[in-house]
Structure 1
Amino acid sequence: MSFLIENWVPALMALVSGAMLLWPALQRGAQGAAISPTEAVRLINREKAVVIDVCEPGEYAAGHVSGARSVPLATLQEAKGLPSNKALPLIVVCASGARATRAVGVLRKAGYANAQALAGGLKAWREANLPVESGGKGA
């Protein structure tokens, strides 16, 4: 104890730097596993992640992430468009990210442990200048 009292400045610096290192991990946990568009692209390219768009059919037809499967949030629990391999990473997208976050909870309860919402939704995807398709009915 006397060591800490005599060396309070270095001890405080160590405590603060440790907290700064942990902060990003704590933030990710608080966001409900939301990932950035850059991280989503990495998952798609390296881990064969499947993109699930939970927007309504009209929103999906107006524009969606290239290659995304359309599974509206209201039909998610009985949807046939989900992959049978529940170990695959899923990236869940909606217009802004709010519905996607709710959908991640539904998917995790259904056994898709690697489901993650796209932070900022399709808006963030477009702002990152990533490919968007129009039309189609989805998968």
Structure 2
Amino acid sequence: MDFLQQNWYWAALAALSGTWLMVDMIRNRGDKSQLSPIEATLLVNREDAVIIDVREQGEYAQGHIPNARHIPLGELERRSKEMDKYKSHPVILCCATGSRSNTAIKQLRQAGFEKLYNLRGGMMEWQKAGQPVSKKRK
């Protein structure tokens, strides 16, 4: 009990972060567009999904999902014509943590793309799950 009294701020921080994680998990539970690394792999294998990496060149060069196409988020709108052939294909977007790819999904949805998915947790989760990483240019 003395420990909690002396370190109440750590206990409060732990409770707050745990609550935030639970709220986030509940909020995303019904969102079918958020894929785990395993779900993304299954979608690629079963439905020939296309993976688009929206990170910057330096990040992409350090390692990316094998066969991922590289289109940085800042170039997405300008390079949308080269992606038109994927409008009815499943498209998985990824970045470092899943944040930029969420932004990319919003842009592509406005451009008429139908089947858009976000790699939840981005490359961080991909690597944590032990999935393969390539350094080859695509």
| TM interval, short-chain normalised | 0.7 to 0.9
CA offset at residue 85 of structure 1? 3.3
Question: Which letter does structure 2 place at the counterpart of 1:128?
Answer: A
1:102 aligns with 2:99: no
Aligned pair count reads: 113
Query: TM-score w.r.t. structure 2 length?
Result: 0.74
Query: TM-score w.r.t. structure 1 length?
Result: 0.74
Residues 4-56 of structure 1, C-alpha deviations (whole Å, 9 max, x = no match): xxxxxxxxxxxxxxxxxxx9797233xx8211111101110000000000000
Question: Which letter does structure 1 place at the counterpart of 2:59?
Answer: E
Question: Which letter does structure 2 place at the counterpart of 1:88?
Answer: H
Q: Distance in 2 between matches of 1:26 and 1:106?
A: 20
Residue of structure 2 in register with 1:41 after alignment: 41
Over the aligned positions, Cα root-mean-square deviation in angstroms equals 2.1
Q: Distance in 1 between matches of 2:77 and 2:96?
A: 20
Q: Identity over the aligned pairs, expressed in percent? A: 40
Query: Is this contact kept in 2: 1:34–1:117, CA < 8 A?
Result: yes
Q: Distance in 1 between matches of 2:39 and 2:26?
A: 15
| Larger Cα-atom Rg | 1
Residue of structure 1 in register with 2:50 after alignment: 50
Q: Which runs of 5+ in 2 are unaligned?
A: 1-24
- Runs of 4+ in structure 1 over 3 Å off: 23-26
Q: Distance in 2 between matches of 1:26 and 1:118?
A: 13
